[in-house]
Structure formats: structure tokens, C-alpha cells
Amino acid sequence: MTDTTQSAATKLRPPVADRQWIDAANTQVDTPDLATGCRYIDLEMQAAKLPCAFVYQTGLPAGHHATMLAVFGALTKAGNIRNTLVNSKGGDASTVIQGIEDWFSELIDNGNWAADRVGGGIRVNPDALAKAIAVVKGEHHEGAHTKYLDRIINKDKVLDPGDKAGKKEILYSTFALRNKQVEAEYNRQLPQHAAAPDLGQL
């Protein structure tokens, strides 16, 4: 009699994404040494005919180890973000691509590499950011930050002022942190254990 227990237990789950290595023209290539970037395609969203692709270009030349490592890391991070979004309470795949774009935008545009994660996309401390916005706007009365906190927690979105087409939306938290005064005040508002050390402390 054939033992089917092992084969059933080791049955592979269907892939959730098509991870492509691409050249500078965004054309898929066969080997990593020809790549300058990547394309992450969420297969569930592709089947639903919804926005399903995230494209990232490293800006580095093909064939370099640093380029291949950057592409590999970008694809890995895109997959991690998808898992966080889909597996979170009430999560689904409909926000995957926007979530990936928001996360990468936070890194590239704001250099915010080390703040706390909120939800599946942006890494911020929501209370600290809301208080920073209120302070910068000169609103110092009790509870002044709550309206901003609501927008951050509810993941409100606004049009990206950097999008020439005027169509792309980004999280309000990402939008707020692009303001240098807000960014500086946010760093001051962070809990002491989350704040970066100054040079004298190193």
C-alpha cells in the first residue's frame, strides 16, 4: 500500500506572486546578472484585473554584485510586505501594491529606516507623528493631535504632490513626514528608547 501521508504534507502551495528580474527598460531578463531592477506581480490581484505590479529600479548597473543583492532584497521585502498586509486582521490582497509602494516611498523619499511598524505599510509611531504635526502647525491645546492621529491610524490617503500625473495616492503619514519640520519634530517626539543616539552617545 502506498503511503500518501508524506506527499500530502509536502504538497507545495500555489505561488502568490511572480517575482521578475528586469533590465533598465523594465523588460524581464533570464539571469540576475542582466538585471537592474525587479517587478513584483501579485497573482491574486492580476486575476482580479486590479493593480497588481510593483516595479523597482536600483539605479545601479547590471552585472554588479551590489545590484543583484539590491534586487534580491527588494523582491524579498515586497513579499514580506504582502504577507504582513494579507495576514493582518481584516487584511486582504487589495492593498498589497499600494502598501509596497508606500513602504518603498518611505525608505527612498524620507530615509525612514528605523521607526516602528504600523499596519502593513509605513513604519511610524502614530502618536509621535500626530503630536509632531500639531506642534509644527502651532496647535498646542489639549487633544490637538487627535484629528491627525485619526488620519494616521485610519490610513487616510492624499494625492502624491510628486506625481506629475496627479493620480497616485500615498498615505497621509508618508505625506506628513515629507515636511522637514514635521520630520524633525517627529524625531523629538519619539519615545526615548526609540530615538536614535546622538554622536556623543556612540
pLDDT value at position 10? 55
Q: Three-class SS of residue 31?
A: coil
Amino acid code (one letter) for 75: L
> For 99-138, what is each residue's pLDDT tens digit?
888 888 777 765 655 543 444 444 678 888 999 999 999 9
Note whether 137 and 182 are within 8 A (CB): no
Residue among 170, 179, 171, 169 nearest 132 (CA): 179
- How far is residue 175's CA from residue 163's CA, in Å, rounded to a whole number? 12
For cell 528580474, what's the residue? 21
> For 52-105, what is each residue's pLDDT tens digit?
999 999 999 999 999 999 999 999 989 988 888 787 656 666 778 888 888 887
- How far is residue 145's CA from residue 139's CA, in Å, rounded to a whole number? 8
pLDDT value at position 31? 94
> For 142-197, what is each residue's pLDDT tens digit?
999 999 998 988 888 888 887 777 778 888 888 898 899 998 998 888 766 555 55
- How far is residue 145's CA from residue 156's CA, in Å, rounded to a whole number? 15
Q: Tell me the residue length of the chain.
A: 202
pLDDT value at position 156? 85
User: What cell was used for 94?
Assistant: 487589495
- How far is residue 187's CA from residue 128's CA, in Å, rounded to a whole number? 8
Which pairs from 169-175 meet CB under 8 Å and 24+ separation?
Answer: 169/98, 170/101, 170/102, 170/105, 171/102, 171/121, 171/122, 173/118, 173/122, 173/124, 173/126, 173/129, 174/102, 174/105, 174/106, 174/109, 174/110, 174/122
Note the Cα 193 to chain centre separation in Å. Answer: 23
Give strand pairing partners of 21. 38
pLDDT value at position 13? 75
pTM of the model: 0.55
